[in-house]
Amino acid sequence: MTTPPSNVPTRSNLIERYGPLTGIVVAILVIGALVTFGGGENPSGSASSVGGSGNTATSAGAPAASDMPLTYEQAKAEGKEKQIQWVDNCDPATGRIKMPSLYAPPCVPKFTGDNGGDLGPGVTKDKITVVFYLPQQSGDVMAQLAGNIDTPEATRDTVAKFNEMLGKLANTYGRTVDLQTFQSTASATDPLAARAEAQQVIDTYHPFASISGPALTTAYAEELAAQGVVCLACGGATSDDLFQKLAPHMWGATASTEEWLATVSDYLGKRVAKRPARWAGDPALRSATRKFGIVNFEQDPPQFKAIGAVGAKCGDATGWSAAVQETYLITNINDRAPTIIAKLKAEKITTVIFMGDPIMPITLTKEATKQDYFPEWIVTGTAFTDIAAFGRRYDQKQWEHAFGLSQLSVFMPPEQAEPWRLHQWYFGQPPAATKTSSVIWSPLIQLYSGIHMAGPKLSPATFGQGLFNLPPAGGTPVTPRVSYGNRKTFPVADAETCKADTFRTDYLGIDDMVEIWWDPTVDGPDEQGKAGTGKYRYANGGKRYLPGQMPDTEADAFKVDGSVLQFDTRPPSDKSPDYPPPAR
């Protein structure tokens, strides 16, 4: 593996302004990834697609079922699991490989014979080339904040060790994953530079896949996809339409905007709308029926216009609608905050639905207090606005009235996080990158799961179909549900009729959400382990909901009874079988 450069670029004025946040960006990295993933004779038989209409890696050129490995679960359903020689680390009791995780990939047949040799870009007989994209830290706020978290040496060591471990556990059909690193010098917002760097990556490495990309433009992923390269965890704010357009080349860990809006809309329509704004800070607002205003991040060019149009038209169908919608860019936070608050206050908005980055609420809540405006705040789980490390930075006179939903799991100590546990299990020691191991792990487990399930004929299409064939896993308080493909999880509202009787194909990991609310009185560690006051509580013991599963009862916000702050150890529902680590 090529090692990342040890020099860190000089920090810009923007990062200097947010310098105090450097220490808490660990939460962004760690929590965001805690999800949070032929040749000769092969005794596998064939595997069929699963999950329903549209559950193929792409609408054109989908792989044949005979190209895909049969899983233990599929073979058992057909009554022929005992006729197949499975991978050596198969656990018949679970139907998954012997990795102590609920996300362990399924057992597949043991492979012997010819893997097809050189099959396309980045795939040879012996190796699969994958590029790790390292953002230019002086041009990307989040990347800059991340720059001082773990040393380059610790990061390199953890990447190499996770790659070694997954290479040992997964079936890669005679190939090894060759991880290369690419250091970007482009701004996170520059689409022309992003396309140029994508071409540079292709010309230099000829990869099968790239991990990560510039945070605020989709151009890098688009250029890679246009030339047949898979991109994992590319871009932080991307519409689901782009995932559909670039299929099967673009994949992510957490739900797209359209996906989590399905659950948020379900929550607002059933549990929040048409009730008094009883948790507002202003007594005059508490007796008023809720009137919603949305504040959302936008990109240039806009990515989310269509979502707003459907939402505005389909209020009767969803049970709620917004009277005001205000947008901002990451570059105009200071200018927009005063005007946004003035508009919300003038329109007598009782309940502000925030859908943006974790920096804007710092300015927005201070401005609300300055203008003597104290509404309810709805947290929608966007961009880590749902972690204590940032919640403590928001004006507490405002944030004590914050509640909503999160994709994240119930908080646990870092050493209980899955990547840390697995590193300790396999190597007998914690990861060197103690603060960012999860952000390293997340796209790697997704990469290896797709390779494991793709069979020997690895291509973007078989990789995608492999992920689609993964059975859903998780759905418990500290293990969010992860699945891919069209399992009729995420409904699509028709822009004309507002009917939601079709479903989108899912190219991202987390499916479900948990209800949360901010408790400003609680002392304890944040996601980095830093002591302080204020934490999110998780309602109903951390119970998680898929779209359409919300009860038609008032939200459980601000109910201490039944809520949890964290789990010090993994609860029984989240425990996986224990196995001895394989010999190295």
Residues 70-99: tens digit of each pLDDT: 999 999 999 999 999 999 999 999 999 999
Q: Which residues pair with 354 in a beta bridge?
A: 295, 379
Q: What is the mean pLDDT of residues 390-397?
A: 97
What average pLDDT does range 419-447 have in this prediction? Answer: 94
Rounded CA gap, 144 and 149, in Å?
Answer: 10
How confident is the model over 253-271, as pLDDT tens digits?
888 888 888 999 999 999 9
Q: What is the length of the chain?
A: 584
Q: Are residues 546 and 558 in contact, defined by beta-carbon separation less than 8 angstroms?
A: no
DSSP string, 209-222: EEE---TT-SHHHH
- Arithmetic mean of pLDDT, 154-165: 92
Look at residues 471, 482, 402, 432 and name the one whose alpha carbon lies nearest to residue 34.
482
Is the pLDDT reported for residue 105 higher than 50? yes
Token code pair at residue 402:
């914050």
Compute and round to an integer the Cα radius of gyration of the chain: 23
Question: 574: phi > 0 → left, psi -120 to 50 → alpha, else beta; which?
Answer: alpha
> Residue 140's pLDDT is what?
43
What is the per-residue pLDDT for 151?
A: 79
User: Mean of the pLDDT values across residues 170-199?
Assistant: 93
Please say if the pLDDT value at position 144 is more than 50: no
**H or E segment to which residue 152 belongs:** helix 152-169
Answer with the residue of higher pLDDT: 15 or 378.
378
**Exposed/middle/buried for residue 451 (C-beta within 10 Å: 0-12, 13-18, 19+):** buried
pLDDT digits (tens, 9 = 90+) for 492-547: 877 778 888 889 999 999 999 999 999 999 999 988 778 999 999 999 999 999 99
Q: Given a cut of 50, is residue 32 above it in pLDDT?
A: no
Q: How far apart are CA 531 and CA 522, in angstroms?
A: 11
316-328 average pLDDT score = 90
Ordered by where they begin, the domains of the chain are 13-37+114-254+415-460 (3.40.50), 258-406+512-568 (3.40.50.2300)
pLDDT for res 21:
34
Contact 75, 67 (CB under 8 A): no
Confidence of residue 15 (pLDDT cuts 50, 70, 90): very low
Mean pLDDT of the chain: 85
Classify the C-alpha dihedral 83-85-86-90 as positive or negative.
positive
For residues 484 and 254, the answer to whether their CB atoms sit within 8 Å is no
What value does the mean pLDDT take over residues 415-444? 93
- Provide the pLDDT for residue 54: 46
Other CB atoms within a 10 A radius of the CB of residue 1 amount to 14
**Taking residues 463-468, what's their average pLDDT?**
97
Percent of the chain having pLDDT more than 90? 66
Nearest to 557 by CA among 533, 540, 535: 540
The yes-or-no verdict on residue 6 having pLDDT over 80 is no
Angle CA(384)–CA(387)–CA(390) in degrees, nearest 5? 85
What digits encode the pLDDT tens for the residues 113-129? 899 999 999 999 999 99
Higher per-residue confidence, 25 vs 186: 186
Segment 142-167 mean pLDDT: 76
Task: Say if residues 152 and 6 touch (Cβ distance below 8 Å).
Answer: yes
* Averaged pLDDT, 561-565: 97
Residue 240 has pLDDT above 70, yes or no: yes
Residue scoring higher pLDDT (356 or 463)? 463
Residue 300's pLDDT band (cuts 50, 70, 90) = low
DSSP state for residue 495 in the 8-state scheme: T
Q: Above 60 in pLDDT, residue 37?
A: no
Lowest mean pLDDT among 40-44, 290-294, 300-304, 335-339: 40-44
Q: What is the pLDDT of residue 560?
A: 97
Positive or negative: CA dihedral 65, 68, 70, 74: negative
pLDDT tens-digit map of 193-239: 999 999 999 999 999 999 999 877 889 999 999 999 999 998 766 78
pLDDT interval class at 301 (50, 70, 90)? low
**How confident is the model over 340-366, as pLDDT tens digits?**
999 999 999 999 999 988 999 999 999
Q: Give the max Cα distance, the chain.
A: 75
pLDDT exceeds cutoff 60 at 25: no
Say what angle helices 219-226 and 191-205 make with each other, to 10 degrees. Answer: 40
